[in-house]
Amino acid sequence: MVTNRCINFLKSARKTREVYTGPWLPEPEVSHTVGSPEETAMRTESISYALLVLLEQLSPLERAVFIFRETLDYDYQDIAEMLGKSNESCRKLHSRAKRKINPGRVREKDQGATSQEASIALPVEEVRASSTHVKQAEELARSFMNAALTGNFEKFVGMLADEARLYMDGGGKVRAAVFPIIGSERILAFLNGIASKSFGLKNQLFVNVNGQPGLLLKRDGEVFGVLSFQFDSNSRPVRLFIISNPDKLKHVSLNGR
C-alpha cells in the first residue's frame, strides 16, 4: 500500500517538475546528532543524498523495483505481487533502471565540461558512501566554514575536482543559480562574488545530511539552505548541492528534527 501510494504521488509530482525553475533536488534529511558508527554506516549506505539525486533519473515504477531489488534484496515474485505486475515486467523495469544509471552512459554525457545537459547524478557505483567519503565531507564542510569566515574560498575550492559542479535548488522562490555552475574556477568566482555575502560563519551549523557531514545555512535566524557533497569512485569531490527552496526545508529546524 505504501509503495503504490508513493508511486502515485511521484507520478503527479513529475508534472510539477516539468515546469520547475532550475535544477530539481530531493528534500534532504538533516540531523544534528550522530549515531553509533554502525548506525551511521547503515544510514549513509542506504539513503545517501547522492543516491537520492541519482534515483531522480528513474520513473516511479523503475525506482520502486530498483530499491526493492538492489537495496532490500527482494525477489521478483515478491516485487511483482506488491506492484501488481508480472515477474517479466519487473525484470524489464529493473534492467531499464540499471541502464539509465549505467556508468558509461553517465560519463559519456559528462565528457563535455561545459555542457549544461550533463547528468546531475553520478552512476550508482560512485555514490556508494564509505568511511573515506564521510571523513572527506567533514573536512569539506569545515573548510567551507573557515572560508566563509575569511571570505577566501580558494583553499575550499582547491579541494574540489577541476570538473566539479555546483547545483542550487531555489525552486524560483529564492535567489539561486538556475543553471549548474561548472568547473572549480567558476565555483570559486561564484562563492567569492555572491555566496560570501550570505554564508557567514555565524550563519552555519555543522549537521548530517542523509548520514553524511554537511552544513545547515542560516539567514536572519531562519533556515536558508542545506549544503551537501558527492564524491566519485576515486573519492574526488565532484558535486555540491545547495537546497534553498523553502518548501523543501520546512521539516528542518535549527535545533534538530
Residues 6+ apart with CB under 8 A from 232: 122, 126, 161, 238
Taking the CB of residue 210, how many other CB atoms lie within 10 A of it?
Answer: 23
Q: Is residue 95, in this structure, part of any structural domain at all?
A: yes
Asked if 178 and 94 sit in the same domain, the reply is: no
Split at pLDDT 50, 70, 90, the class of 111 is very low
- Identify which has the larger pLDDT, 197 or 151: 151
* pLDDT score of 123: 55
* Contacts made by residues 107-112, CB under 8 angstroms, sequence distance 24+: 110/163
Range(s) of the domain holding residue 219? 131-248
Instruction: Work out the average pLDDT over 159-171.
Output: 93
Confidence check: pLDDT of 202 > 90: no
Confidence check: pLDDT of 11 > 80: no
Cα four-point dihedral sign 256, 246, 2, 72 = negative
Q: Is residue 57, in this structure, part of any structural domain at all?
A: yes
Q: Is residue 257, in this structure, part of any structural domain at all?
A: no
Q: Is residue 90, in this structure, part of any structural domain at all?
A: yes
Q: Is residue 253, in this structure, part of any structural domain at all?
A: no
CA 142 centroid distance within chain? 19
Asked if 162 and 120 sit in the same domain, the reply is: no
* pLDDT score of 114: 43
CATH code: domain of residue 189: 3.10.450.50
Asked if 152 and 106 sit in the same domain, the reply is: no
- Identify which has the larger pLDDT, 96 or 211: 96
Domain boundary residue, one of 127, 160, 183 = 127
- Identify which has the larger pLDDT, 107 or 170: 170
Segment 16-41, tens digit of pLDDT: 666 678 888 888 989 876 555 555 55
Answer whether 0.85 is exceeded by the pTM: no
Asked if 155 and 52 sit in the same domain, the reply is: no
Split at pLDDT 50, 70, 90, the class of 133 is confident
Confidence check: pLDDT of 42 > 80: no
> What span, in angstroms and rounded, lies between the C-alpha atoms of 3 and 82?
8
Q: What percent of the chain has pLDDT over 90?
A: 32
